[in-house]
């Protein structure tokens, strides 16, 4: 027996002449075109080569790798340690007390020394039983361990104009301004900024960090 619903006549809907309305598709909703993996690799390779090139330019023209020989700057620097020095920093800023500088040895310019700046031009440096005084004011030196102190006296010595009084942190094993006198600024050609070898010494050699290392 058929149901009344099945007996009802079915009338065909008139054909639609227009497409159903839809919201317009914006450009942001469109799927992005597939990227070429090869293109991405080329872009990354180019950026990497540019970065490496810039790094090499900075290292070659601004920084110089040097090898430390001797223990006069221990414990900050050890024998055979490798560091970078900034060769242009003193063209833009003055030499300051506490800077670890590299300079031509005044008595033999074929040799380079590395020491810490203690006295500035025009200052008077004196050492009393190992304690350093500049213009009669004691200079705190946390970078000199007690076992490296030299308890002898020195000076007073007035630092000439355009010269600097330098000393090694390992006071009992350092050939410095107590021996060869103040160093003229024209002999100072860089400041130690970064240690890179051995890896356990890897890090900055800035004045602040060096003072507490």
CATH number at residue 144: 2.10.109.10
Evaluate whether residue 51 is within a structural domain: no
Rounded to an integer, the average pLDDT of 159-170 is: 97
Evaluate whether residue 137 is within a structural domain: yes
Q: How confident is the model at residue 33 (pLDDT cuts 50, 70, 90)?
A: low
Q: How confident is the model at residue 44 (pLDDT cuts 50, 70, 90)?
A: confident
Catalytic residue among 115, 163, 174, 177: 115
Between 37 and 146, whose confidence is greater?
A: 146
Catalytic residue among 23, 28, 67, 72: 72
- The answer, yes or no, to whether residue 9 has pLDDT greater than 90, is no
Evaluate whether residue 113 is within a structural domain: yes
Indicate left, alpha or beta for 171 from its phi (over 0: left) and psi (-120 to 50: alpha).
alpha
What is the domain range of residue 93?
66-212
Catalytic, 72? Answer yes
Catalytic, 110? Answer no
Q: How confident is the model at residue 6 (pLDDT cuts 50, 70, 90)?
A: very low
Sign of the four-CA dihedral 109, 114, 115, 117: positive
94-137 pLDDT, tens digit each: 999 999 999 999 999 899 999 999 999 999 999 999 999 999 99
Question: How many domains, in total, are found in the chain?
Answer: 1
Q: Which residues fall within 8 angstroms of residue 173, CB to CB, at 6 or more apart? A: 71, 72, 74, 148
Evaluate whether residue 2 is within a structural domain: no
Summary mean pLDDT of the chain: 83
Evaluate whether residue 129 is within a structural domain: yes
User: Of 13-27, 36-50, 96-110, 140-154, where does mean pLDDT reach its minimum?
Assistant: 13-27
- The answer, yes or no, to whether residue 7 has pLDDT greater than 60, is no
Find out whether 62 and 87 touch, Cβ atoms under 8 Å. yes
Nearest to 65 by CA among 87, 88, 82: 82
- The answer, yes or no, to whether residue 166 has pLDDT greater than 60, is yes
């Amino acid at each position: 027996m058929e149901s009344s619903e099945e007996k009802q006549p079915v009338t065909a809907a008139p054909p639609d002449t227009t497409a159903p309305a839809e919201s317009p598709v914006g450009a942001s909703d469109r799927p992005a075109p597939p990227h070429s993996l090869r293109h991405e690799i080329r872009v990354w390779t180019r950026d990497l080569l540019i970065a490496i090139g810039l790094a090499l330019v900075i290292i070659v023209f601004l920084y110089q790798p040097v090898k430390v020989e001797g223990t006069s700057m221990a414990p900050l620097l050890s024998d055979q340690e490798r560091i970078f020095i900034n060769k242009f920093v003193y063209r833009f800023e003055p030499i300051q007390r506490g800077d670890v500088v590299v300079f031509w040895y005044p008595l033999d310019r074929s040799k380079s020394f590395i020491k810490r700046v203690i006295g500035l031009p025009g200052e008077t440096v004196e050492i009393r039983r190992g304690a350093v005084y500049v213009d009669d004011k004691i200079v705190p030196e946390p970078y000199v361990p007690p076992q490296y102190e030299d308890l002898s006296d020195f000076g007073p010595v007035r630092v000439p104009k355009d010269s600097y009084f330098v000393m090694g942190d390992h006071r009992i094993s350092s050939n410095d301004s107590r021996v060869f006198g103040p160093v003229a600024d024209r002999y100072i050609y860089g400041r130690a900024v970064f240690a890179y070898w051995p890896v356990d010494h890897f890090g900055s050699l800035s004045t602040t960090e060096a003072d507490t290392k």
